[in-house]
């Protein structure tokens, strides 16, 4: 696989002759990331005792020794380096010379410890203990605090906020809308990088505010610089009015949103993931002393991992992707979709739909056969902050598939109308996204139906039917889906086995609901403030993008917009 490989060098308009690669993979090769996981896998197997461990991310590796004294820890590290099959042997065997000058030694202990730190003696070099080191962009301090990381975060945020300020001058440069987009896409991600490790969201404990108060306060200062650049306001502008005007979520709420998103990701981990057991530990959020960042986050947000949908490690065989027990058809335009529905000549027609109404979501499916009354199934999935519309659309298809599987007549041609293109397209994906557990169940039912009926004559087509275009079956399914959202559910015995028990909570719905709550909280705090009440006479929609849309018009110059 790695034989007969060549690479070329290009610079200043010059292209070199092909150069043979006799070691490793060419730089920029898309295989390099995956192949390196096999290349350095032996490093992870070097630790052989309970107090030894090792972790690696591509070419960044860390050896860890957990013992009672630093000299003993150094002996363990030295052993892992020099033992047979250790790091030095791996380096020689894999033709990957170690850069000893890049090795860093950090002796971790709590701040009150008086233990003496001594150097680590290798044959090639003597490594002095460092006070901190950076790994994957996060600074780890020898006293197990995050002071250096906080300082680095503030430095990065200030640097990029000032860069955007230079690009958005009051008299020339970016328009406010573009400056906001730049701030959100560049500055904020650099500030919030690894925030789940070094930040505890703000919360009130009695009369006092707890959490990473000081750092979030400095992030607020950085955001003021960004908001001034976006709005083109004067430096003496009221700081509490800048975020609502620029429509930037305040720093405390921004940190809250980022940390909540991380907790959701932890609860979505499959059983095969090494953090699954820790995230699902009932006591992880109840630790009082020596809290880890993960325990602090899980304690701050009451999200039950057992009730949250998981992302599978592998959902389906990649070789089977595209092999479906039915055909799919998505028309190029609404007019073609209407024509397909009008000229459908299949014996049995099924229409499905999902709906959200008054904070609840539901799905329905209707099976029609000429000369027979329609068969209808309803299902109320639950609150809108636990399930998505995409999820109920797939639930509707599963209901329709169940109606087809229970059809007792000898019909062989079926057509299913679905008014959601994303739900149909999901069957051609790897089925590893949220709500795709329903798509996997649909395929199982469809395969059983295909095997039970005569494969040569049986045919099922799922096609997109444009919604609200007067297609009778589609309109009927929409009406029944609204009834399901209002609470109507068919008898359990008539539903598919998979839908007879409550579905797991969809993290996407939880994230969306949490964001709505943050916006609502922000809006209520602004409206309750003195300046917010005064500003309501000028623009009652604040916080919103109305001001930015007004001053970002192409007809306005930067001078007039500022």
H/E element holding 357? strand 348-357
The per-residue pLDDT for range 41-93, each reduced to its tens digit, is 889 999 999 999 999 888 889 999 999 999 999 999 999 999 999 999 998 88
Q: Which of 323, 251, 232 is nearest to 551 (CA)?
A: 232
CB atoms inside a 10 Å sphere around CB 103 = 16
Per mean pLDDT, which range of 73-87, 223-237, 382-396 is the poorest?
223-237
**Predicted local distance difference test score (pLDDT) of residue 260:** 94
**Predicted local distance difference test score (pLDDT) of residue 65:** 94
**Predicted local distance difference test score (pLDDT) of residue 23:** 65
**Predicted local distance difference test score (pLDDT) of residue 537:** 87
- Degrees to nearest 5, angle at CA 456 with 455 and 460: 65
Number of H helices, E strands in the chain: 22, 18
Residue 189 has pLDDT above 90, yes or no: yes
**Predicted local distance difference test score (pLDDT) of residue 409:** 67
The Cα–Cα gap between 249 and 528 comes to 17
Residue 255 has pLDDT above 90, yes or no: yes
* Of the ranges 226-240, 280-294, 511-525, the best mean pLDDT one: 511-525
**Predicted local distance difference test score (pLDDT) of residue 18:** 87
Confidence of residue 2 (pLDDT cuts 50, 70, 90): low
**Predicted local distance difference test score (pLDDT) of residue 540:** 86
Tokens at residue 292, please?
A: 């880890």
Q: Mean pLDDT in the chain?
A: 88
Checking DSSP bridges between strand 360-369 and strand 372-383, what pairing results, if any? antiparallel
Q: Which residue has the higher pLDDT, 410 or 515?
A: 515
Residue 113 has pLDDT above 60, yes or no: yes
For 118, how many CA atoms within 13 A lie in the half-sphere containing its CB? Answer: 12
**Predicted local distance difference test score (pLDDT) of residue 24:** 60
Task: Over range 416-421, report the average pLDDT.
Answer: 92
DSSP code, position 124: S
The Cα–Cα gap between 128 and 121 comes to 9
Sequence-ordered list of residues with C-beta below 8 angstroms from that of 265, at least 6 positions apart, any chain: 507
CA pseudo-torsion sign 531, 533, 535, 541: positive
Residue 416 has pLDDT above 90, yes or no: yes
CB 195 within 8 A of CB 133: no
Confidence of residue 25 (pLDDT cuts 50, 70, 90): low
Q: Which residue has the higher pLDDT, 440 or 113?
A: 440
Residue 317 has pLDDT above 80, yes or no: no
The per-residue pLDDT for range 436-460, each reduced to its tens digit, is 999 999 999 999 988 887 666 788 9
User: Backbone dihedral region of 263: left (phi > 0), alpha (psi from -120 to 50 degrees) or beta?
Assistant: alpha
DSSP code, position 183: I
The Cα–Cα gap between 71 and 76 comes to 9
Q: Which CATH superfamily is domain 318-507 in?
A: Ribonuclease H-like superfamily/Ribonuclease H (3.30.420.10)
Residue extents of the structural domains in the chain: 40-141, 147-307, 318-507
**Predicted local distance difference test score (pLDDT) of residue 562:** 65
Task: Over range 393-421, report the average pLDDT.
Answer: 89
Sequence-ordered list of residues with C-beta below 8 angstroms from that of 152, at least 6 positions apart, any chain: 139
Q: Distances from the Cα of 79 to the Cαs of 83, 98, 228, 338, in angstroms?
A: 5, 16, 56, 73
CB 476 within 8 A of CB 483: no
The Cα–Cα gap between 484 and 502 comes to 15
Confidence of residue 268 (pLDDT cuts 50, 70, 90): very high
């Amino acid at each position: 696989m790695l034989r007969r490989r060549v690479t070329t060098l290009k610079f200043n308009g010059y292209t070199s002759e092909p150069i043979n690669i006799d070691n490793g993979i060419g730089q920029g090769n898309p295989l390099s990331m995956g192949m390196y996981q096999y290349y350095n896998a032996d490093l992870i197997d070097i630790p052989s005792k309970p107090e030894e461990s090792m972790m690696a991310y591509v070419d960044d590796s860390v050896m860890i020794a957990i013992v009672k004294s630093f000299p003993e820890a150094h002996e363990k590290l030295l052993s892992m380096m020099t033992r047979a099959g250790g790091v030095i042997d791996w380096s020689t065997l894999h033709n990957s010379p170690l850069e000893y000058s890049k090795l860093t030694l950090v002796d971790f202990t709590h701040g009150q410890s008086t233990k003496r730190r001594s150097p680590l003696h290798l044959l090639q070099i003597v490594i002095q203990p460092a006070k901190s080191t950076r790994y994957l962009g996060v600074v780890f301090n020898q006293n197990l605090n995050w002071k250096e990381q906080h300082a680095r975060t503030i430095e990065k945020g200030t640097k990029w906020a000032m860069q955007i300020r230079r690009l958005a001058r009051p008299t020339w440069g970016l328009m406010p809308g573009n400056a906001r987009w730049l701030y959100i896409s560049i500055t904020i991600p650099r500030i919030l990088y690894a925030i789940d490790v070094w930040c505890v969201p703000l919360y009130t404990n009695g009369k006092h505010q707890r959490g990473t108060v000081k750092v979030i306060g400095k992030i607020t200062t950085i955001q003021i610089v960004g908001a001034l650049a976006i709005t083109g306001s004067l430096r003496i502008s009221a700081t509490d009015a800048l975020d609502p005007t620029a429509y930037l979520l305040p720093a405390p709420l921004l940190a809250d949103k980022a940390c909540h998103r991380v907790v959701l990701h932890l609860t979505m981990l499959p059983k095969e993931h090494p953090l699954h057991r820790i995230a699902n530990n009932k006591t992880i959020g109840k630790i009082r002393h020596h809290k880890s960042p993960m325990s602090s986050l899980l304690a701050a947000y009451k999200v039950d991992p057992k009730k949250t949908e998981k992302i599978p490690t592998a959902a389906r065989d990649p070789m089977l992707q595209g092999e479906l027990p039915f055909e799919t058809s998505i028309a190029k335009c609404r007019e073609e979709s209407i024509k397909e529905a009008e000229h459908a000549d299949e014996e049995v027609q099924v229409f499905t739909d999902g709906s959200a109404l008054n904070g609840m979501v539901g799905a329905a499916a209707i099976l029609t056969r000429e000369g027979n009354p329609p068969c209808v199934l309803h299902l109320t999935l639950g609150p809108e902050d636990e399930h998505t519309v995409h999820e109920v659309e797939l639930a509707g298809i599963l209901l329709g598939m169940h109606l087809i599987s229970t059809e007792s007549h000898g019909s062989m041609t079926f057509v299913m109308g679905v008014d959601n293109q994303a739900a149909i397209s999901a069957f051609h994906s790897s089925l590893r996204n949220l709500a795709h557990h329903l798509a996997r169940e649909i395929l199982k039912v469809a395969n059983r139906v295909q095997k039970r009926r005569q494969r040569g004559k049986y045919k099922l087509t799922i096609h997109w039917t444009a919604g609200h275009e007067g297609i009778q079956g589609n309109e009927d399914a929409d009406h029944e889906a609204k009834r399901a959202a209002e609470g109507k559910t068919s008898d359990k015995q008539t539903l598919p086995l998979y839908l007879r028990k409550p579905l797991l909570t969809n993290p996407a719905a939880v994230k969306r609901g949490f964001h709505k709550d943050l916006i609502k909280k922000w809006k209520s705090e602004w409206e309750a403030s003195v300046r917010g009440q005064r500003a309501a006479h000028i623009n009652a929609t604040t916080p919103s993008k109305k001001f930015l849309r007004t001053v970002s018009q192409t007809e306005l110059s930067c001078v007039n917009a500022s």
